[in-house]
Amino acid sequence: MTARRTFATARRILAQLRHDPRSIGLIMVLPCVLMGLVAWMFEDQPQVIDQFGPMLLVVFPVFVMFLVTSVTTLRERTSGTLERLMTTPIGKGDFLIGYALSFALLAALQAVVLTAWAHWVCGLDIAGSWVGLAGVAVLDAVLGSSLGLASSSVARTEFQAVQMMPVVIVPQLLICGLMMPRSAMPRVLELLSDAAPLTYALEAANDIAAGGSWAEAWPDLALTAGFTVAVLIAGVLTLRRRTA
């Protein structure tokens, strides 16, 4: 794996996405629409959006980036593009990390747009730093991209890639602390939540939104980043050149 080949792959993916308005709309518009719907539902109860808004800034980007990344990556394999690329000096690491870099850039833009939308349009009010919360949202969106890349490595069709969402994302949503405090869960579920990346993503977002410093949120941020790297490595090791 070389930096030149990795960045060349990232540029190619970004060029393709630039001509794919549906994917761009899904990445940039859908999270804002979902956040807007929640804010509209509770427009007479602003405390609700203030309480759950920071967590939704984590959930929506992970959800959307997982979907777009897994389907787009799998399309490269099913169309034969990946197999043709593997006949060149580009390796699996160049391909997957290049994909990760391109979607990380889109994830960063998505997180910034969504955070601004939540603040200026949806009326989300937090005690902490908006820059810090946007940074957490960026990291979480990158996590969603990494999970999507790894999931696409084991799926055979685009439909299977979509089916991976209930397997990879939904269980984490149920036990990460979004529905109820982890301390109130049965002990077994609380232990399982310790292995869920979204758990630490949500805790970091809540800490920053409540006025905590980066130093206080650092353990959760480090664990989220560690999960992201580990998932990418798993994706590289399991990536197949073509779909049988």
Assign 224 a pLDDT band (cuts: 50, 70, 90): very high
CA 43, CA 234: separation in Å to the nearest integer? 43
Q: Judge whether 244 lies within some domain.
A: no
Token pair for 98 = 């290049």
Q: Judge whether 84 lies within some domain.
A: yes
CA 85, CA 147: separation in Å to the nearest integer? 22
pLDDT given at position 172: 92
User: 13-64: per-residue pLDDT in tens?
Assistant: 888 888 888 888 888 999 999 999 999 999 888 888 888 889 898 888 898 8
User: 113-134: per-residue pLDDT in tens?
Assistant: 999 999 999 989 998 888 888 8
Burial of 244 (0-12, 13-18, 19+ CB in 10 A): exposed
Place of tokens 């979509």: 162
Q: Judge whether 117 lies within some domain.
A: yes
User: Could you list the residue range(s) of the whole structural domain that residue 76 is in?
Assistant: 3-238
Is 78 a residue whose pLDDT tops 80? no
Assign 242 a pLDDT band (cuts: 50, 70, 90): low
Q: Helix axis angle, 214-238 relative to 92-120, nearest 10°? A: 140
CA 84, CA 80: separation in Å to the nearest integer? 6
Query: For the chain, what is the domain count?
Result: 1
Place of tokens 């957490």: 136
User: 31-42: per-residue pLDDT in tens?
Assistant: 999 999 999 999
pLDDT given at position 212: 83
- The residue among 16 and 81 whose pLDDT is bigger is 16
Q: Judge whether 59 lies within some domain.
A: yes
CA 228, CA 230: separation in Å to the nearest integer? 6
Q: Judge whether 129 lies within some domain.
A: yes
pLDDT given at position 226: 93
Average pLDDT, the chain: 85
Q: Judge whether 243 lies within some domain.
A: no
